[in-house]
Every structure is written in C-alpha cells, then in structure tokens.
Amino acid sequence: MVDSTTAISGSTSAGTTPDRYAAFISYSHADGELGAWLQKRLESYRTPRALEGRDVGRGRIGRRIGKVFRDRSDLAVVPNLRVGIRDALERSDALIVLCSPSSAASDYVNEEIRLFKELGKGDRIFPVIAAGEPHASRRPGSEATQECFPRALVMRLDAQGAVSSDLDPNEPIAADFRKGGGSAVSPCSARPRPAPHWAGYSPSADGTPSGATTIRWPPAMRWPA
C-alpha cells in the first residue's frame, strides 16, 4: 500500500509562495460542493511530522500543503477568465480532477487537463471519483453516459498538443468518493464521505479496468460524520 499523504505532499513544494499553488481543482460546477469542501480540507490539512522536511525533488515538504486553487474562490475579480485559468494552471504544482459524468462531458474540465499535460505536468494529476464509473465508455455492458473519466485524462496528447485517440500510458489512480466504492452517503445531505482508501483503476490494452490498487486515505481528510 502507498500512503496518499506522501503522494499529494510529493506533488507540491514546501511553503508555496503567493505566486504558486500547491494544487488546482478542476471540476464541473455540478460537483461544486465537493470542490469547495476539498479545497478547505486540503488547505487546512496538517502534514505528518514524519514527512516534514523531506526532499521530493521540487522542494521540501512543509507543515502545510499550501494554497489550493478553485475558480469560484480565486477568480472572482479576474476580467479574463480563460487567461486567469491558464495562469493558475501554470502556477500550480498539481492538478486534482473531480471525476463524474458531468466533468467527463465538460469542455472546460477537459481543456484544463489538456493544458496541464501540455505544460509537462501530466505525472502530477490526481483524479477523484465523485460519481459515475471509470472507463464506462469503453467497457462492454456499461452505460457510456456513466463515464466519469474526462477524455483528456485517459488519452495522450499528440505532437500538436491535442487530445489523441491513444490511451495515455500513465494509468490514473483515483480517490473513490462514491457510495459503494469505498464511501458512504450522509443521509441528511447525500454528500459522499470518502472511506480511508484510494481506488486505482488500471486500464488494459482495450481500455477496460485490469485491476485495483488500494492506497490509505489520511483520516483527517474524511467527510465528517
């Protein structure tokens, strides 16, 4: 098992400056409540002492993960939304994608993923499954409309920087927030509460899941009961 705290902290540099973001949250506004909650919890998450000071290649891990970008909280006064999004992606050390049928169909989410890959940071993308099914559009017997992975996430970019029809060799490993996928639903609000694990979906040659990897989820990151 791999500790997810190391994975997230390892994608950021210690003590992010006002000009940098530890992560950028890409999401459909249908998943806005989850995006707001995740931003708050990540920014307040206390890095385990055993990891503080560890050199991860892009700096040392600090006490906090750092500032997390979310469009509705960080672009309220930006006149040019498209320029503001690209600028934030350039200044972000990691990309967290909230995956659902809504985000899979979102041109904005797909473009944010494409841009992040084009910037050479495709190995720092962390998917989070909010709803739907991974690889449903390519799995026999599944409803294509339930696909939760945006096309730009699972396909590689071509030489011109466009999303191609070839699977990306970097297999997505996603935190699973769905009911029945290692999560529970609050009876009063129907909000997903992540269980303490990540579910990794590794596509085979035909794009169908070939297995699952379990990764510990830090207790402090779970939805409150």
Helix (H, G, I), strand (E, B) or coil at 128: strand
pLDDT at 139: 85
Rounded Cα gap, residues 161 and 91, in angstroms? 19
Average pLDDT over residues 45-52: 87
The larger pLDDT score, comparing residue 199 to residue 40, is at 40
What tens digit of pLDDT does each residue of 78-120 get? 555 678 889 999 999 999 999 999 999 999 999 999 999 999 9
Rounded Cα gap, residues 116 and 203, in angstroms? 21
User: Residue 14: which pLDDT band, with cuts at 50, 70 and 90?
Assistant: very low
Return the half-sphere exposure (C-beta side, CA atoms, 13 A cut-off) of residue 8: 33
The larger pLDDT score, comparing residue 157 to residue 218, is at 157
CATH of domain 2-183: 3.40.50.10140
E strand or H helix at 72, and its extent?
Answer: helix 71-74
pLDDT at 149: 95
Choice among 27-41, 103-117, 206-220 with the minimum mean pLDDT: 206-220
DSSP label of 212: E
The larger pLDDT score, comparing residue 76 to residue 224, is at 76
Residue 182 φ then ψ, to 5°:
95, 20
Query: Whole-prediction pTM value?
Result: 0.73
Catalytic residues: 112
User: Residue 63: which pLDDT band, with cuts at 50, 70 and 90?
Assistant: confident
Token pair in block for residue 55: 């050199």
DSSP label of 55: B
Asked if 119 and 161 touch (Cβ cutoff 8 Å), the reply is: no
- CA-CA distances (angstroms) from residue 6 to 50, 57, 93, 134, 210? 10, 13, 14, 24, 25
Tokens 């939760």 — which residue?
Answer: 148
Token pair in block for residue 117: 């890959």
On average, the pLDDT of the chain sits at 75
What tens digit of pLDDT does each residue of 155-203 get? 999 999 999 999 998 777 888 888 765 542 222 233 444 333 333 333 3
User: Residue 60: which pLDDT band, with cuts at 50, 70 and 90?
Assistant: confident
Rounded Cα gap, residues 94 and 90, in angstroms? 10
Of all residues in the chain, what percent carry a pLDDT higher than 90? 44
pLDDT at 49: 87
pLDDT at 189: 32
